[in-house]
A and B are shown apart, each in its own frame.
Chain A
Amino acid sequence: MQDKLSALVAKATAELPTLKSRPEFEAAKARYVGPNGELTALMKQMGGIPKEQKPIVGKLVNEAKLRLTAQLDAALARIAADELAAQLGPAIDPTLPSPDTGPGTYHPLTLVREEMCRILRKVGFTVADGPEVETEYYCFDALNTPADHPARDEKDTFYFPTSARFGNVSKKTPEEKYLLRTHTSSVQIREMLKGPPPIRIVSPGRVYRRDTTDATHSANFHQLECLYVDKNVTVRDLKALLDYIFVSLLGKDTKTRFRPHYFGYTEPSFEVDLTATHLPKVKKPWIEIGGCGMVDPTVFEAVGYDSEVWSGYAFGMGLERLAMLLYGIDDIRYFYQNDLRFLKQFA
């Protein structure tokens, strides 16, 4: 018996480390310790062992069983480890580049627009949107720009033929013409016509001027305008907003100043200059950055607001101009060429 047990263990010791796969292992395990296994068969012979030898033989059987189990466990662990190792290829070279191009990039105009919208959101402005095809009423009439104003000239503004119809751009009067908006101020009119103040919106968007394309002009470009209408809004509040915007954008040493100017839709009106350190490619101490003013009572009248009760301010600027200033870009046409060597610089 003892010999048989020793031989069995020796056989297993030799065979189990050579097993390659799980099925081989399962077969071997059955052969040794399964219901019809060799060890099981030996254990079944225990009945024929004389009573006095039983404790000794029993002990030997148990020892053999323990050794076999340990060897089986070791073999299974080795096979499992081999299986995992087989899933791996050769070691990688971490220094090779990824063949996938990327990452994607946001256009610099998007980056600047979103940064402005985030800055403005912190002081209560939410983003409004409106059509790029507009009518004379929303783009001009309601903004105190009378019919004979030069800005409305066919020389400067893109119009559509009188026969053109735009199904989802509402007209105020049947005879007015469709045009491409020359500023996003039309969004302000549409917003004010939706309901009573308070209003606190920022309207970024694409606008169109009939202009020669060169390094600083583009047939379409982007604007961003703010409108705030409430009770007791003052010039000083407007100045505070502009200071806040540009300090947030360009840092604490940034200053703005107002110069009186003229716009039909604001009174008083100002041009805004800013000065800041660390701006690339800027040689002048003060840079003109936008226009602003207090909403003209005529505009309130057009949208049915009582100018005795409500007051407000508006501010507008060109996004390309701002992006050019922030990044040190000197040709507006680059924004519309989409050369990847340009686009990848702003991520």
Chain B
Amino acid sequence: MKISLNWIKDYVQLDASVEEITRAITFLGFEVEGVANTGAPKLDHVVVGEILTRAKHPNADKLSVCTVDVGPAGGVKTIVCGAHNCDAGNRVLVALPGAVLPGNFQIKLSKIRGQDSQGMMCSPDEIGMGSDHSGLLILSGQPDLGAAMNAVLPPGDTVFDIEITPNRPDCQSHLGIARELAAWFKLPLIYPQEKFRGDVEAAAVRTDLLNAVRVDSPEDCPLYTAHIITGIKIGPSPSWMQERLAAVGLRPINNVVDVGNYVMLETGQPLHAFDAKKLGGGQIIVRRATDGEKITTLDAKERALTSRMLVIADAQKPVVIAGIMGGENSGVSAYTTDLVLECAIFKRQSIRATSRKVGLTSDSSYRYERGVDPHGALEAAWRAVDLILETAGGHVVGPVYKVGGEVPWQREIVVTHDYITEKIGFDIPAADMRAALESLELTVTREEPTELPARGPAWTVSIPSWRDDLDRPIDLVEEVLRLFGTEKIPAAVVTSPGLVNDDDPVVMFNRRVTDYLVGHDFHECVNYTLRPAKELATWVSQTAAQELALANPFVEDQSHLRPTLIMGLLGSLQLNQSRGVVASRLCEVGRVFIEHNGQNLECAAVGFIIAEPVGERAWLKREPADFYIVKHHVTALAAAAGIDLARQSLAPVAGPFFGWQEGQSAAAGTIELGWTARFGLLNLAMVKSLGIEGKVYAGIFAILPDKLSASLARRRYSDFSLFPAALRDLALVVDQAIPAADVQETLEKFAHTAAGNAFAVESVNAFDVYQGKGLPEGKKSLAFSLVFRSAERTLTDDEVNAAFTKIQADIAADGRWSVRA
């Protein structure tokens, strides 16, 4: 909201500097977003001069050469000028050499098209007064020659642009801000004195203009007042009013409209004036609109209304969207002579809902939405009546209508000195606290000692109707602190008892996996959670994508929750490649959302990609990434969540979507288990379609947050043997399609059977895979290393051989595979 300093000074006699006032407003709790001057800036070497002669410039059609008398400031000067109005006899402002005009424009002696020029005559914009560049600023009133500019021009106004917090609707007005400043500077607040106080001569009753005011919807309009003024003359408002309105950004229109705006900006109470003759049936009815009713508002737009919207209507039609904007059909025009002045209170929620629905806001709706002092309406109306009579003439006639408004205001809060001290944690003398409250017109109606005589008093504080935000003792703590000055809160040392908890398991997991990946040369990325629909189609089914959609996305390419981190990482990879930056290892840690049976599950997740470092030139080539490298990393990430991937069955990634390359990728876990992992090569065609060059391997691990909490059980130590191991190798010929893990599982079973209780099978581990020459078509050879060991003794060859023979016999008996000779 814009606040004029000149205007404020009507209510509080400030003599503080603009800097001090800016600071005061700031520390009263309102952010000052800008301070602007409407008058002339302070400029040196700019003085009054009179143009003595004007001649055409010999070398330029559009320039003149003038002689200008600046009197005691330097006598007669020759100045080249391009303005149309540099006529002899005009008194103008002359910037002499040495002057620095706004925009750091330095005035020097110069030659313009071969002609000496000893200064510059100024247009308004050149001296920082607005944007008018159409001609020189011609001074009226024959100011003294040589007088300094700032001695001649009016000082102007200072306008503060202030952000009013939503809890302080009372400060949406000059009076409200003045009250705050009066409290801060400890000055009295001077209220405008109404002359009219509601008294109307009995004889002067004009029911022909307005015979009824009816409120059909009192819950939306608790108070409606209407005053009739006859015999007014529409014209421009006085210049002092126009200047103030213009200073705070309002365009002056006419005396009646300007008064309405002026009183609103003074008191915060919106008003509306009708041309009385345009009110059909001489009636005002405050009612809900009917569905389909229409009104053309003052901005010349037709608006469709619904039965949830409150309107002011006459006997036939809606004339105002209540509290928001008037209709073209009833407003004040140049021919208006009789008017009806509305001053009403509307329910905040109703105004807000309608304003949003219609898509229309105004200074009035803005104030009603935030709340207007319900007990200030009548005084605001009186003030407006005074100003209309003053600026437009006319007489107030009866009847005066006032519908509703019976609810009396009374609110008291009891607060003690000790309570305030306890909350703020340092001492402010009781007298200062009380003075602070009273400076804001929070009247202390009673001061009593508290039960313990050594302690401070208890105050009963009466809350004025405009301070609906003050409701509890804690609210008064803030008022005391504001006026004490929040800058002066004394320093202290943080007192810190022992830690209450450990960090959340999700946080610890995120840290572990980030450390792991960064430790393995990955660059951590952060991507947006919201992704475009077409991207999701790559990774999840259509039904899943539907579940992940927002109801109200802001932009099309951020419409869905991400089901995987890979797409964001591919975006980062693509960006780097397109910028010619070599990128290979990228990772991200963050939330993903996995759809399961029509429900979305929010998961903690970690993902990474390893891309070919396209564009990299290196003197020594490294092996490119492969499936087993990403498997290794995913295994480590799963381990950070307490999951041993080696004990999990792996399956090829399946589904109707194509993020992963078939036959080159694997999946483990399910969301029913509480976690899921995917890793391997990304679909070549998909990667290519994103404009990415080269193969990309990737891995992702996602887990339900609760699962992480459960995974912190302490491990138990188990003994290990100090005796030497016995090793045997065994190669099996199996179908190519058979997974190594299946063979290994069976082999482990046979090995355990063969060893029995005599000794342990420490490990069975695939160490060679071969297919090709020497093997039948469609077969491969899997070689396993078997490690046997006893906890009690060194094993003998005989007993190990016996077991090994038994294993081979079991394989032969099983019949599925043969031992490779």
Please determine whether chains A and B interact with each other in the same assembly: yes
Q: Which residues of A contact B (CB under 8 A)?
A: 96-97, 99-107, 109-110, 114, 117, 121-124, 126-129, 131-133, 148, 150, 153-154, 158-162, 164-169, 180, 198-201, 206, 208, 210-213, 219-220, 232, 234-237, 239-241, 243-244, 257-262, 267-271, 294, 296-297, 311, 335-341, 343-344
Residues of A within 8 A of B496 (CB): 122-124
Query: Which chain B residues in 737-766 approach chain A with CB under 8 Å?
Result: none
Asked if B168 and A262 make an inter-chain contact with CB atoms under 8 angstroms apart, the answer reads yes
What are the interface flags for B559-594 relative to A under an 8 Å C-beta threshold, 1 for contact and 0 otherwise?
A: 001000000000010011001011111110011010
Asked if B599 and A165 make an inter-chain contact with CB atoms under 8 angstroms apart, the answer reads yes
Asked if A104 and B520 make an inter-chain contact with CB atoms under 8 angstroms apart, the answer reads yes
Majority secondary structure, A binding face: mixed
Residues of A within 8 A of B494 (CB): 123, 237, 240-241, 244
Give Cα A337 to B426, complex, Å: 48
B482 within 8 A of A: yes
What would 16 more interface pairs be, CB under 8 Å, given A104-B523, A167-B596, A200-B500?
A99-B621, A101-B616, A104-B521, A165-B598, A168-B601, A198-B497, A201-B501, A208-B530, A235-B423, A244-B494, A258-B487, A261-B31, A268-B477, A338-B525, A339-B576, A343-B525
B622 within 8 A of A: yes
- Closest residue of chain A to B519 (Cβ to Cβ) is A104
Q: Which 10 A-B pairs have the closest CB atoms?
A: A234-B425, A260-B29, A236-B425, A268-B478, A102-B521, A262-B165, A338-B572, A104-B518, A167-B599, A240-B492
Asked if A240 and B518 make an inter-chain contact with CB atoms under 8 angstroms apart, the answer reads no
Asked if B530 and A219 make an inter-chain contact with CB atoms under 8 angstroms apart, the answer reads yes
Q: In the complex, which range does the number of interface residues on chain B fall in?
A: 35 or more
Binds A, one of B106-114, B146-154, B502-510: B502-510
Given contacts A122-B496, A235-B424, A338-B526, contact A160 B486 (CB under 8 A): no
CB distance from A257 to the nearest CB of B (A): 5
Given contacts A100-B521, A127-B507, A240-B493, contact A340 B583 (CB under 8 A): yes
Give Cα A86 to B502, complex, Å: 55
B102 within 8 A of A: no
Residues of A within 8 A of B576 (CB): 338-340
Asked if B619 and A99 make an inter-chain contact with CB atoms under 8 angstroms apart, the answer reads yes
B254 within 8 A of A: no
Residues of A within 8 A of B527 (CB): 336, 338
Asked if A101 and B575 make an inter-chain contact with CB atoms under 8 angstroms apart, the answer reads no
Asked if A198 and B500 make an inter-chain contact with CB atoms under 8 angstroms apart, the answer reads yes
CB distance from A212 to the nearest CB of B (A): 8
Asked if B524 and A127 make an inter-chain contact with CB atoms under 8 angstroms apart, the answer reads no
Query: Which chain B residues in 705-737 approach chain A with CB under 8 Å?
Result: 705-706
Asked if A337 and B575 make an inter-chain contact with CB atoms under 8 angstroms apart, the answer reads yes
Q: Which residues of B contact A (CB under 8 A)?
A: 26-29, 31, 165-168, 348-349, 352, 356, 422-426, 472, 474-475, 477-478, 481-482, 486-487, 489-504, 506-507, 511, 514, 517-530, 547, 549-555, 558, 561, 572, 575-576, 579, 581-587, 590-591, 593, 596, 598-602, 613, 616, 618-622, 704-706
Residues of A within 8 A of B523 (CB): 104-105, 338, 340, 343-344
Residue pairs across A and B with Cβ atoms less than 8 A apart, 16 shown, are A99-B618, A121-B499, A128-B501, A132-B602, A133-B602, A165-B547, A167-B601, A168-B602, A198-B497, A235-B424, A239-B490, A239-B492, A261-B165, A294-B474, A337-B572, A340-B582
Asked if B526 and A259 make an inter-chain contact with CB atoms under 8 angstroms apart, the answer reads no
Asked if B500 and A101 make an inter-chain contact with CB atoms under 8 angstroms apart, the answer reads no
Give Cα A338 to B583, complex, Å: 10
- Closest residue of chain B to A258 (Cβ to Cβ) is B486
CB distance from B214 to the nearest CB of A (A): 27
Please pick, from B422, B582, B613, the residue contacting A232 in the complex, using a CB distance under 8 A.
Answer: B422
Give Cα A257 to B491, complex, Å: 10
Residues of A within 8 A of B356 (CB): 153
Residues of B within 8 A of A340 (CB): 523, 576, 581-583
Residues of B within 8 A of A232 (CB): 422
Asked if A339 and B581 make an inter-chain contact with CB atoms under 8 angstroms apart, the answer reads yes
Given contacts A99-B619, A106-B518, A340-B523, contact A210 B705 (CB under 8 A): no
CB distance from B676 to the nearest CB of A (A): 14
Residues of A within 8 A of B511 (CB): 114
Residues of A within 8 A of B590 (CB): 206
- Closest residue of chain B to A162 (Cβ to Cβ) is B551
Asked if A166 and B601 make an inter-chain contact with CB atoms under 8 angstroms apart, the answer reads yes
CB distance from B720 to the nearest CB of A (A): 32
Residues of B within 8 A of A105 (CB): 518, 523-524
CB distance from A95 to the nearest CB of B (A): 11
Residues of A within 8 A of B555 (CB): 213, 219
CB distance from B545 to the nearest CB of A (A): 12
Asked if A101 and B584 make an inter-chain contact with CB atoms under 8 angstroms apart, the answer reads yes
CB distance from A169 to the nearest CB of B (A): 6
Asked if A260 and B28 make an inter-chain contact with CB atoms under 8 angstroms apart, the answer reads yes
Asked if B553 and A158 make an inter-chain contact with CB atoms under 8 angstroms apart, the answer reads yes
Asked if A101 and B585 make an inter-chain contact with CB atoms under 8 angstroms apart, the answer reads yes
- Name, among B426, B482, B499, B554, the residue most crowded by chain A CB atoms within 10 Å (CB to CB): B554
Asked if A159 and B487 make an inter-chain contact with CB atoms under 8 angstroms apart, the answer reads no
Please pick, from A96, A166, A267, A268, the residue contacting B600 in the complex, using a CB distance under 8 A.
Answer: A166
Give Cα A338 to B348, complex, Å: 46
Given contacts A131-B602, A166-B600, A168-B601, contact A258 B474 (CB under 8 A): no
Give Cα A338 to B525, complex, Å: 6
- Name, among B422, B478, B601, the residue most crowded by chain A CB atoms within 10 Å (CB to CB): B478
Asked if B599 and A106 make an inter-chain contact with CB atoms under 8 angstroms apart, the answer reads no
Residues of B within 8 A of A153 (CB): 356
Asked if B475 and A267 make an inter-chain contact with CB atoms under 8 angstroms apart, the answer reads yes
- Closest residue of chain B to A111 (Cβ to Cβ) is B524
Asked if B554 and A336 make an inter-chain contact with CB atoms under 8 angstroms apart, the answer reads no
CB distance from B630 to the nearest CB of A (A): 16
Give Cα A232 to B492, complex, Å: 15
Please pick, from B493, B507, B547, B583, the residue contacting A129 in the complex, using a CB distance under 8 A.
Answer: B507
Residues of A within 8 A of B349 (CB): 148
CB distance from B370 to the nearest CB of A (A): 10
- Closest residue of chain B to A241 (Cβ to Cβ) is B494
Give Cα A109 to B593, complex, Å: 22
Given contacts A237-B494, A336-B527, contact A219 B558 (CB under 8 A): yes
Please pick, from B486, B584, B585, B619, the residue contacting A257 in the complex, using a CB distance under 8 A.
Answer: B486
Residues of B within 8 A of A110 (CB): 514, 524
- Closest residue of chain A to B600 (Cβ to Cβ) is A166
Residues of B within 8 A of A200 (CB): 499-500
